[in-house]
Structure 1
Amino acid sequence: MIEERCETNGRVRRNVKLTPNQRSRAFVASRYVMEKMVELQSTPVEEGAEPKSTDDIVDEVLSTRLGYIPGLGYGPKPNKKNSSANTINLEKRLKNKEEELNVYKSNFETIQTQMEAVRSVLLVAEIQVPSLQFPTPNDTTNSSSPESEPTKGLDRDSPNKLFH
């Protein structure tokens, strides 16, 4: 009778799959933790609320402390306070840079309009002026094409050649 029980228990233990991070935790405890995580993950989300992330579920079930996860040990676990503050800071910087870019675009368009007006006046006076074409962000033309190089062929040493 005892031998049969030992043999049965031995077969059962051989079939138990252990994970490397389980260490000394009992199989039953690991199964409980896994079931708790699956339960939290499958819990329906209330309307208007965001579903819990995997990290939040692990934190709740394993009761992780900053920098320490049971079964895994110490590791780089970011501080949630700092990461949310960093995210807010980065969003502010991004917004400032986008506003700055919009100002530069507006200034560029104004200058481009003024240059086109000057070019029109010079053409009325029958003065040859090269066409100024600026590449747009969506422009996929080759940068070595003559249209994208408005100063190609001009001598930088004698700018007056343009007006002769």
Structure 2
Amino acid sequence: MLELQSRPTLEGSQPLSEDEICDQVLGRRPYYSKGLGWGPKPKARRTTSASSSSTSCLQSTQKKIELQAKLNEALERIQVQDRNHQALASQSETNAKADRRLHSCTTGTTT
């Protein structure tokens, strides 16, 4: 086993994993699968787990992106409402000044 671990790999190739080394040294134990009979023990669980994990990570990332987009839209709506509020406040102030001037003109007083 140590010999396989220390063996140099060809350029561009991956070194053997621990599972692959164990398979070469010990061989694969037969496994009975109902309906299929005897065969090599499947490694699908480890692959399924990794696949499930990456799928879960991908879904989490997609959800995060969706939530960030919704947050950005909400912030933009708030900014638009804030600008509208400021414009209305300014218009209200202008109208109040005009009303005071009109009132002073009609009553003959100055402010």
> Normalised by the size of structure 1, how large is the TM-score?
0.42
**In the alignment, which residue of structure 2 is the partner of 1:59?**
23
CA distance in 2, matches of 1:49, 1:95: 28
Shift of 1:50: 1.4
**In the alignment, which residue of structure 1 is the partner of 2:2?**
38
* Structure 2 alignment gaps of length 5 or more: 31-41, 91-111
* Cα displacement string for residues 130-160 of structure 1 (whole angstroms, at most 9, x for unaligned residues): xxxxxxxxxxxxxxxxxxxxxxxxxxxxxxx
Q: 1:110-125 alignment to 2 at 5 Å?
A: 110-125=73-88
Q: 1:92-107 alignment to 2 at 5 Å?
A: 92-107=55-70
CA distance in 1, matches of 2:78, 2:43: 52
Shift of 1:111: 1.1
Greater share of strand:
2
Question: Which one has the largest radius of gyration?
Answer: 2
CA RMSD of aligned residues (A): 2.7
Shift of 1:89: 2.4
CA distance in 1, matches of 2:24, 2:54: 28
Shift of 1:64: 5.2
Task: Tell me the number of residue pairs that the alignment of Structure 1 and Structure 2 aligns.
Answer: 81
> Normalised by the size of structure 2, how large is the TM-score?
0.58
